[in-house]
Structure 1
């Protein structure tokens, strides 16, 4: 089958087609098995495409990091499967990515020792030895077909920066280091090619679904890039049988668990990074609502970087496999006490990098807010346009916030949460993926027997229950407040009639409470989360003023 190839760039004045060098570049690979959706990717098809490219002539294979985590298999074997796979990929050099450190330095160093290719890192050093972390190199030189190729290092015929960082940092590097000829990056999962100061920056997608082939012109040493091709790894490409066998051996042990059906989703779940990291999504609402239902808190938020699938999940069976793709980490949950001001700071941090696809962008529950992307970071949210449980944010009030321990530690720029008191620690709340499993169990329980109330977890957030009870109690207090002093001597019959009427009122309100709880549960068991306007991007001055009126803000 002919591979699906897109020509991204092609130079017109190629002098000598016999004097070229191909570079194959890929980055950010997590799941070795193929996907259910095109392009299906998968390590087995990826190697077939790679080896066909290598047959065409001299080729360098370079990898820009993130392989050991996260994935459902990695959680079981700490990334061991990926080293076994990558060792078959003819890799000349790789740089470490942030997720390659997920299982700790000891595990990483074992994987590096078992790799048949060198790893690089040039911007992270051991505080004690001052050497690069994990004892890897900070530069590497490869001789290929008479050409010296320097990776990070200089004094070569061509210098390549093999990076794993955000676009903005690659751009800064390209603008300020003219000695580098080519930038091959990772960390961002979108396939993007840009030219900065006549130097190419290339990000080659994610998860064995894409790779780049960069043809270099060597007619006179190095004369630049002849061509850039994007290979799409779809089902037309045959699987490499050796790699497929390795994959099958790992999957055999986990497939039974991963193929367990948790429930039937009635809508697609939007999990693509370009969405969850820039706007409210129904997947984000689904997960954060579950966080809120599990604990006694007024609101919840989760950094979108915790949602890892980068897929649209289809309507129909939602399996454990889908859950592990979305939440491969064992994210620990906490409930902390935050002031309204601290909550505002956290929301500000969440939108501070917009429109970049940063993992700090928050998905929220129990919160509604608007932000203005044209304003400077740190000043994009007017506190009058923030609501917690339908009430305008009070900067002095304390709120119970459900989030993950990772953010409580101040990661992703959430320094404002570090000193917040912990109300429920991570030892007393199941990890996030388990909360989602429990939610599905409760939904299935209610679908089978709606009247069943015992021996199942709640599907109604405690904050909703408490608000309804508080409203009823307030109404009862008002009803009980006498307009005059009651006497039990001559007015016994009058008092009796008042209490009888009050009892009937309480009965009606109790039934109303039960009805509202039942309606909430019926909506939840539909498994059809939707976008509800929790996060609003301000479009104009007129829009801002409309929102002030809508939020009921005091001018």
Structure 2
């Protein structure tokens, strides 16, 4: 059963149910949180507000309340790309805020692995800084020819845990969707979940799952393990409730715009009776917990100073959207919509004598839907890594190779967004300004500098030394075009 309630009502419910706390296990559930402070001009989200709710819930049921996060918090974030004390922040701010907020258990999300390739250096640092427990059943770290559990404080991360208020015992396991990294070994999440469920079933009153999966995979998990009492999920960014048999699946909105409060009710014989789940809106009506708010403010001040040094005014409004800007990862790597169309056009207009403009969908990292007022801070959220833009004169043959590599990378970061270029599927022909691409001709292409490094998937050939590159124009260091975020901002301001 799901109910959507205000914060004030949820506190009232907590008061009324306090007498039953010995027979209730409560979960405060969030997922996919990249921002520590409220968004939408302070109206939505904010980890200090969630921390306040956590305090209230734990006060009413201190032995049986757990604050859980279903993955994705180390990345992507604007603050994570900045430097502090000589190092990139890279999720340090989020771990410190989550420590202050009183998070108890987390599982991995795919974005926890963004900062590392061959060796999990950054992840290891964040693990050691965290005061909450990580739980993961289907991921291990490769060491030579073997795979071993990740470690924290000298101990292996558990694949599952047993939570108890002294009377009720609840088993909890964590699983994550597949992630491709050299240092990571990922096993099938269904098999891992089944193993943990079977191990926990005889030792607990009920078993719940903390997952970072696509909702379709959560449904598969529920079908395979119909005895689960609850699936608390992540990865999807809009709140949802699905029911598969007797297994409820819940996900809250990204960036803590909402949270779920789940109450597992038991009778006097410790038999699970029902799960009551309430979606709570986190807005200005929810007070901030002072200690967490102080940590958030500390990192906001660090970020503000870094932004000023980079020439940004984070709170300045630059644009108002007429339609939602869908910047979710699964969208920008598969479709051309309003946000990516506008960004491609901005790059084109920065080099007006170009024949076309293109950029890789993986450069958009906001992983959120933006609507209404767009600030400079939002643009930094969209393009946190920045980077310059250039104009490359290349042969039609090389351009065709680039466009094909992007087209065949649908679903990956190398998927290309275009302005003044399109692909005609029936004839399998590329068109530039409604003229077929001529492989014998040359074209001026406006693009991000990153694409000329050969580091994009499937585009290792795209280097300044390629014989198909006839000229490369890079703006002077003082030119606004040396930062793609300023390119986008200049374009949006002209739109009014």
TM norm structure 1: 0.63
Which secondary structure state, in structure 2, belongs to the residue aligned with residue 130 of structure 1? strand
Whether the 8 Å contact between 2:30 and 2:69 is mirrored in structure 1 is: yes
Q: Give 2:206's match in structure 1, choosing from 150, 158, 179.
A: 158
Alignment map for 1:421-436 (pairs within 5 Å): 421-423=462-464, 435-436=483-484
Whether the 8 Å contact between 1:160 and 1:180 is mirrored in structure 2 is: yes
Report the counterpart of residue 226 of structure 1 in structure 2: 275
The 1-side partners of 2:419 and 2:361 are apart by 12
Whether the 8 Å contact between 1:174 and 1:180 is mirrored in structure 2 is: yes
Report the counterpart of residue 71 of structure 2 in structure 1: 65
Residue 64 of structure 1: how far off its partner (Å): 1.1
Whether the 8 Å contact between 2:205 and 2:271 is mirrored in structure 1 is: yes
- 2:114 pairs with 1:102: yes
Residue 67 of structure 1: how far off its partner (Å): 1.5
Q: Any unmatched runs of 5+ in structure 2?
A: 11-19, 83-88, 174-195, 467-471
Report the counterpart of residue 435 of structure 2 in structure 1: 391
Report the counterpart of residue 100 of structure 2 in structure 1: 88
Which deviates further from its counterpart, 52-61 or 216-225? Answer: 216-225
Whether the 8 Å contact between 1:4 and 1:234 is mirrored in structure 2 is: no
The 2-side partners of 1:134 and 1:401 are apart by 45
The 2-side partners of 1:397 and 1:123 are apart by 51
The 2-side partners of 1:84 and 1:124 are apart by 24
The 1-side partners of 2:453 and 2:277 are apart by 39
Which secondary structure state, in structure 1, belongs to the residue aligned with residue 147 of structure 2? coil
Residue 130 of structure 1: how far off its partner (Å): 0.4
Which deviates further from its counterpart, 358-367 or 106-115? Answer: 358-367
Whether the 8 Å contact between 2:213 and 2:233 is mirrored in structure 1 is: yes
Which deviates further from its counterpart, 328-337 or 264-273? Answer: 328-337
The C-alpha deviation readout for 1:23-42, integer Å capped at 9, x for no partner, is: 11111111111113575211
| Count of residue pairs brought into register by the alignment | 416
Q: 1:251 and 1:203, CA in 2 relative to 1: closer, same or farther beyond 3 A? A: same
- 2:292 pairs with 1:243: yes
Report the counterpart of residue 418 of structure 2 in structure 1: 364
Report the counterpart of residue 403 of structure 2 in structure 1: 343
Which secondary structure state, in structure 1, belongs to the residue aligned with residue 261 of structure 2? strand
Residue 423 of structure 1: how far off its partner (Å): 3.9
Which deviates further from its counterpart, 306-315 or 139-148? Answer: 306-315
The 2-side partners of 1:65 and 1:121 are apart by 10
The 1-side partners of 2:452 and 2:220 are apart by 29
Alignment map for 1:175-214 (pairs within 5 Å): 175-178=223-226, 180-214=228-262
- 2:128 pairs with 1:122: no
The 1-side partners of 2:460 and 2:380 are apart by 31
Report the counterpart of residue 322 of structure 1 in structure 2: 378
Whether the 8 Å contact between 1:384 and 1:392 is mirrored in structure 2 is: no
Report the counterpart of residue 34 of structure 1 in structure 2: 38
Residue 229 of structure 1: how far off its partner (Å): 0.6
Q: 1:96 and 1:309, CA in 2 relative to 1: closer, same or farther beyond 3 A? A: closer
The C-alpha deviation readout for 1:55-85, integer Å capped at 9, x for no partner, is: 3322122111121222222222222221221
Residue 408 of structure 1: how far off its partner (Å): 6.2
Q: 1:408 and 1:288, CA in 2 relative to 1: closer, same or farther beyond 3 A? A: farther
Report the counterpart of residue 476 of structure 1 in structure 2: none
The 2-side partners of 1:407 and 1:211 are apart by 41
The 2-side partners of 1:324 and 1:180 are apart by 41
Whether the 8 Å contact between 2:100 and 2:295 is mirrored in structure 1 is: no
- 2:148 pairs with 1:131: yes
Whether the 8 Å contact between 1:266 and 1:526 is mirrored in structure 2 is: no
Report the counterpart of residue 13 of structure 2 in structure 1: none
Residue 280 of structure 1: how far off its partner (Å): 3.6
The 1-side partners of 2:273 and 2:347 are apart by 52
The C-alpha deviation readout for 1:158-189, integer Å capped at 9, x for no partner, is: 22222223223322322234464422221221
The 2-side partners of 1:330 and 1:38 are apart by 25
Whether the 8 Å contact between 2:71 and 2:107 is mirrored in structure 1 is: yes
Whether the 8 Å contact between 1:210 and 1:231 is mirrored in structure 2 is: yes
The 2-side partners of 1:332 and 1:123 are apart by 39
Which deviates further from its counterpart, 79-88 or 124-133? Answer: 124-133
The 1-side partners of 2:323 and 2:23 are apart by 49
The C-alpha deviation readout for 1:315-354, integer Å capped at 9, x for no partner, is: 57x42x222222223568797975647735643653x6xx
Which secondary structure state, in structure 2, belongs to the residue aligned with residue 62 of structure 1? strand
Q: Give 1:47's match in structure 2, choosing from 51, 64, 72.
A: 51
Q: 1:419 and 1:250, CA in 2 relative to 1: closer, same or farther beyond 3 A? A: closer
